């Protein structure tokens, strides 16, 4: 992926609370990833499905008016990441294949790091 720095000037658009809401969600992602990984280590596939399913649902918690203001590629990466968590939950419920789950998990991580490489929040005016 081409590395580019985009600036999300959320303050101008939605206020500090929007930014804090997204950062709160980010920290929840990290907890969720940890929970999935711990469950994978224990080979507890029921717990893997449960934790990944919870991560897959977090999209619904973000207010739609906020999501609408994100740049298209940002939203695409978010949605792709959520989809990956949903796939993990679905795969595990269907047939527990640890190799496939690991592969999906790595895919989900690539969305985390891919988006972090690309976007930064900046408080201030939208640059011209
Ligand atoms: C669609 C884009 C995107 C995706 C996907 C994404 N993040 Fe983030 N994340 C961000 C942005 C933007 C920031 C703010 C970075 C900044 O301004 O320095 C951030 C910040 C964070 C922070 C810091 C929170 C704080 O309180 O400062 C954590 C932790 C984090 N992300 C974890 C994750 C994890 C784990 C995943 C994958 C499961 C993930 N993120 C996926 C865009 C994303």
> What's the pLDDT at 4?
46
> What's the pLDDT at 15?
63
The pTM for the full model equals 0.85
CB 115 within 8 A of CB 76: no
Scanning the chain, the segments in alpha helix (DSSP H) are 10-14, 16-41, 45-57, 64-67, 72-94, 98-118
> What's the pLDDT at 70?
79
Ligand 1 touching residue 111 (CB < 6 A): yes
pLDDT tens by residue, 8-33: 554 445 567 777 878 888 898 999 99
- All structural domains of the chain: 6-121 (1.20.120)
Does residue 111 carry a pLDDT above 80? yes
Ligand 1 touching residue 29 (CB < 6 A): yes
Ligand 1 touching residue 33 (CB < 6 A): yes
More confident residue, 67 or 45: 45
pLDDT tens by residue, 47-70: 999 999 888 887 777 777 777 777
> What's the pLDDT at 5?
47
97 Cα–ligand 1 center, Å: 28
Does residue 81 carry a pLDDT above 80? yes
> What's the pLDDT at 34?
94
Q: Which residues contact 108 (CB under 8 A, 6 or more apart)?
A: 33, 81, 84, 85, 88
């Amino acid at each position: 992926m081409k590395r580019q720095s985009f600036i999300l000037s959320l303050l101008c658009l939605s206020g500090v609370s929007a930014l804090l809401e997204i950062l709160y969600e980010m920290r929840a992602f990290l907890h969720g990833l940890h929970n999935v990984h711990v469950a994978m280590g224990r080979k507890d596939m029921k717990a893997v499905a449960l934790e990944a399913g919870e991560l897959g649902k977090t999209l619904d918690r973000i207010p739609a008016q906020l999501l609408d203001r994100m740049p298209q590629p940002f939203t695409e990466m978010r949605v792709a990441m959520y989809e990956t968590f949903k796939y993990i939950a679905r795969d595990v419920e269907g047939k527990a294949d640890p190799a496939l789950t690991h592969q999906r998990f790595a895919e989900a991580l690539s969305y985390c790091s891919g988006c972090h490489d690309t976007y930064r929040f900046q408080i201030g005016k939208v640059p011209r």
